[in-house]
Amino acid sequence: MNISEKIILPEAAPEDRSGAIREAIRNAIIDRRLAPGTKLSEAEVGALFDVSRTVARAALQMLAFEGLVKTERNRGAFVSHPSPDEARQVFASRRLIEPGVVAEALDRMTPAEIEGFRRQLDEEARHMSERGPAARRAEIKASGDFHLMLASVSGNAILQKFMEELVARSSLVIALYGRSGISSCGHSEHSAILDALENKDGERAAALMIHHIDHIEADLDLQLKQGSGLKDALSLP
């Protein structure tokens, strides 16, 4: 899989170029324009964004740190290819963290933010009704964004960072092990969670969230099929 043309970053970033590149690649990964296993060579990334290898490398290091990319010494960086076990860990972590996030969000959510959530859900619905791969990608992203918005209003920057990592890794996992085309079934669940939040029913919101995560994970096929057998069998021990 190859990255297409030269990408022009959102202009307003004269500084922190590696951070901008990180986000661009990150987005490409979470909406699956970059498949797991894809090689990301420093030279290629550098050329693509028109920077030197130094800054491309920095971006890849950041991505490696948040688990979206795996680097092998003297071999390069590859889009992560999480094992079924890693996949389970991702969702175990989310089950642990997200109920707490909704609980903290409950107290701090302003009416304006509720309105923002509503708009977000509308957008989700809109993407769902559209056809085509672009709409699909947008839908995936929007679905993750719901969880990130929640983390954002929780007011805890650390948890927010953790959630960013977990949501991104979830995308990878779903790309690899997702059974139904998309775990889009989640939209109505998002709605229900928001309703519970609006009614200040924290118990229910947390329960719905856990249910939602269970639901996503249940849609995966985590039997260690994907391994063509050998390659992955030998990387475990």
Q: What is the DSSP letter of 174?
A: H
Two structure tokens written together for 141: 């992203």
Q: Order of strands, edge to edge, in the sheet holding 76-79?
A: 39-40, 76-79, 69-72
75 binds, among a copy of itself, DNA, none (CB under 5 to 8 A by kind): DNA
User: How many CB atoms are closer than 10 A to CB 5?
Assistant: 6
Instruction: State the minimum distance, in angstroms, from the CB of residue 153 to a copy of itself.
Output: 14
Could you say whether residue 54 binds DNA (CB under 7 A)?
yes
Of positions 10, 12, 73, 132, contacts a copy of itself by CB under 8 A: 73
At 13, give phi and psi (nearest 5°): -145, 65
Could you say whether residue 74 binds DNA (CB under 7 A)?
yes
CA–CA gap between residue 65 and residue 82 (Å, rounded): 14
Which residue, 43 or 233, has its beta carbon nearer to DNA?
Answer: 43
CA–CA gap between residue 77 and residue 41 (Å, rounded): 6
Footprint on residues 169-208 left by a copy of itself (CB under 8 A): 169
Two structure tokens written together for 107: 């107290």
Binding mask 76-115 for a copy of itself (x = CB under 8 A): ----------x--xx-xx--xx--x---x-----------
Instruction: State the minimum distance, in angstroms, from the CB of residue 5 to DNA.
Output: 18
CA–CA gap between residue 162 and residue 106 (Å, rounded): 19
Could you say whether residue 22 binds DNA (CB under 7 A)?
no
What is the binding site for a copy of itself (CB under 8 A)? 15-16, 58, 61-62, 65-67, 73, 86, 89-90, 92-93, 96-97, 100, 104, 156-159, 162, 165-166, 169
